[in-house]
Amino acid sequence: MRKILEMNQPENRYKHVYEWKGKGGKVIGLISNYVPEELFTATDILPFRITGSWRENVQHAKVYRPENSCGFCNHVLESYLAGEFDILDGIVAADIDQDVVRLLDVMSYLKRIPFIYIVHVPFTNRSELNYRYFANELKRLSQKLCRIGGKEITDDDLLCAIKLHDEIRGLLSAVYDMRKREHPPVSGEEVLRLISSVCVMPKSEALKELKVILPYIRTRKANLKSLSPRLMIISDMLDHPGYLDLVEATGSVVVMDDMDLGSRYVYLPPANGEEDPFFSLARRYLKRHGSARMATWGEQADQIIAWVNEFKVDGILGLPLAWCYPHQYRIPYLVFRFDQSGIPNIFIDREYHLSNVGQLRTRIGAFIESLMKEGKKWT
């Protein structure tokens, strides 16, 4: 289990990329899980989730981007400028917000990597029109990928890839189910490590590894400092496990999350047998529990509140990036909804890289303390 949990650590992150490239394969970096990995798998391209530099200093990126902007984008650009992504055959992102679009604009301008592509993801799923447009976007992307991968994609290829990814999601959701236990088998930090590792591995290998470790996880009890309070984390672009380690080391257990490298990677509505697999993918990705950039804040709050009950969550800890506009704008509404439902909550801004640890420990510790005083609801 240790092996798979370490795959997205800086020293191992590119291991599979080099191996894949060594066999003559192509690798594309992905920003945002609104770009379906299935399309890449179907064209024999390794989808590789982009992680930015975890170093504090982003001096090169500052030349192109103002410091007071999305930390994730700044750190990704720093890695790009340092040549860390030169091994990749391209980078594909979803237009989840304009900061990401501008990041890709700078990458295109600098021409370090031959293929830079942005997929438009509708911000609303109000109408069938939105699914159809997104399905066409995915078709356009797959045509580009076919040219890079040198392989035509058939419906069967895509259905096969969808099946593989669904199987992985199925195993991960089994892990999530086990987090409902009084003593979860895995810590929040381990779950983050697990999912971020899956996102940089060839999917057939990830599936194999997951099948091996799942029986062990079923019998395991996580090594935790405390079994309560039980927290849910809300964040995005949180890939440094140190943050969740900090939360749990302060005396809590993370049992659920609303994160792109978390529940939003794991849970996707089921396929319903549509004839066109592109349309099926488009519908499933747009209908799943949305991120803050989707216009479904009401449904998002409903889902989070449902999870609070399902996972017996004592409190919600939001760790938004300081300059992430979708999160920052959604916070007042979520606070309103959580307060209305009597769910203790706190939102604390953070940087992308692990920093301000002392301050965070104090603030998180105070929140945990207040939960303990209030009396735990579930444990």
Per CB under 8 A, residues contacting another protein are: 63-66, 68-70, 73, 95, 97-99, 101-103, 105-106, 108-109, 118, 120, 122-124, 126-127, 129-130, 133, 136-137, 293, 295, 297-298, 322-323, 325-326, 328-333, 335
Q: How far is the CB of 301 from another protein (least distance, A)?
A: 8
Quote the CA–CA distance of 165 and 31 in Å, as a whole number. Answer: 18
Burial track 177-202 (b if 16+ CB lie within 10 A, e otherwise): eebeeeebbbbbbbbbbbbbbbbbbb
Q: What minimum distance in Å lies between the beta carbon of 104 and another protein?
A: 8
Q: Specify the residue, 216 or 329, whose C-beta has the smaller distance to another protein.
A: 329
Who contacts 243 (Cβ-Cβ below 8 Å, separation ≥6)? 235, 319, 350, 354, 360
Q: Are 256 and 311 in contact (CB under 8 A)?
A: yes
* Nearer to another protein (CB atom), residue 186 or residue 305: 305
Nearest CB to another protein, comparing residues 124 and 309 = 124
Q: How far is the CB of 187 from another protein (least distance, A)?
A: 31
Complex with another protein: residue 103 or 171, whichever CB lies closer: 103
CB of 294 to another protein, least distance (A): 8
Residue 196: CB minimum distance to another protein, A: 25
15 and 200 Cβ atoms separated by less than 8 Å? no
Smallest gap, in angstroms, from Cβ of residue 236 to another protein?
14
User: Which tokens hold the place of 364?
Assistant: 């998180």
Contact 233, 257 (CB under 8 A): yes
What is the DSSP annotation of 18-85? Answer: HHHHHTT-EEEEEESTTS-THHHHHTTEEEEE-----SS--TTHHHHS-SSS-HHHHHHHHHHHTTTT
Nearer to another protein among residue 121 and residue 206 (C-beta): 121
Amino acid identity, position 357: V
Q: Which two structure tokens, joined as six digits, stand for 332?
A: 């007042």
Please identify, using beta-carbon distances, which residue of 191 and 321 lies nearer to another protein: 321
Residue 49 C-alpha from the chain's centroid: 9
DSSP state of 209: H
For residue 349, the minimal CB distance to another protein (Å) is 10
Q: What does the radius of gyration of the chain's CA atoms come to, in whole angstroms?
A: 20
Q: Which is nearer to another protein, 14 or 367 (CB)?
A: 367
